Chain A
Amino acid sequence: KAGVTQTPRYLIKTRGQQVTLSCSPISGHRSVSWYQQTPGQGLQFLFEYFSETQRNKGNFPGRFSGRQFSNSRSEMNVSTLELGDSALYLCASSPASRGQFFGPGTRLTVL
């Protein structure tokens, strides 16, 4: 099976812009989770979607949002970008109760 794919792999934006990142899960996986990795805060959970519904949410401001489509593909959006949003954004998909499988990530730089 193909692994989790994320697009784009690299992105440069300026403060105040918005960005949309995409994630395609492993075929058959219905749960998709998003994480942010920064040098200062480490890896932090953003949110998790299952069957197009957000089931869990981490402690991030409302500028961070996501959605999941009927084919399980997911997008996350960050509005009004801040310098501190520069990070590696990782998507993971999961079958039931067997752990999470991560994609290669999108490296976002905010100037």
Chain B
Amino acid sequence: GIQVEQSPPDLILQEGANSTLRCNFSDSVNNLQWFHQNPWGQLINLFYIPSGTKQNGRLSATTVATERYSLLYISSSQTTDSGVYFCAVGSGGGADGLTFGKGTHLIIQP
């Protein structure tokens, strides 16, 4: 099956800093999503981005499908950005079972 690697595993930053999270995957995909898991465990959708670039406020993401990686950018970090960020991929269409990376644990200090 597809392998998903996320880096870095942990990241500690000061409020106001920018960060880049990376997701590498081992095979062609037609579904790639970024999630933020809140302290209660719910996965919050950030981006559905099997290719291209999208932006939503302080967050943006880029997927280069031909090179099998995706990047999530967080600018001007806030303490509420803390949590675990997951990349998940699927190869069978938008509703296929997702394979998740192990996540990046982000801590934003005031």
**A binding-site residues for B, Cβ under 8 Å:** 31, 33, 35, 37, 42-45, 47-48, 50, 55-56, 58, 88, 90, 92, 94-105, 107
Contacts and interface: CB of A to CB of B under 8 A. Distances in A.
27 contacts: A33-B95, A33-B97, A43-B88, A44-B100, A45-B97, A45-B98, A45-B99, A56-B96, A58-B97, A90-B41, A94-B94, A95-B94, A97-B31, A97-B93, A97-B95, A98-B48, A99-B31, A99-B45, A99-B94, A100-B95, A100-B98, A102-B35, A102-B42, A102-B44, A102-B45, A103-B42, A105-B42
A37 B43 CA distance: 11
A80 B99 CA distance: 26
Contact of A98 (B43, B92, B94): B94
B41 A107 contact: yes
A104 B39 CA distance: 11
A93 to B, nearest CB: 9
Given A42-B100, A42-B103, A43-B86, A100 B94 contact: yes
A7 to B, nearest CB: 14
Contact of A48 (B31, B33, B95): B95
Given A103-B42, A104-B41, A56 B33 contact: no
A33 to B, nearest CB: 6
Contacts of B31: 97, 99
A41 B98 CA distance: 14
10 nearest A-B residue pairs (beta carbon): A99-B48, A97-B94, A45-B97, A31-B95, A43-B100, A102-B43, A94-B95, A104-B42, A105-B41, A56-B97
Contacts of B94: 94-100
A50 B95 CA distance: 9
Nearest to B102: A42
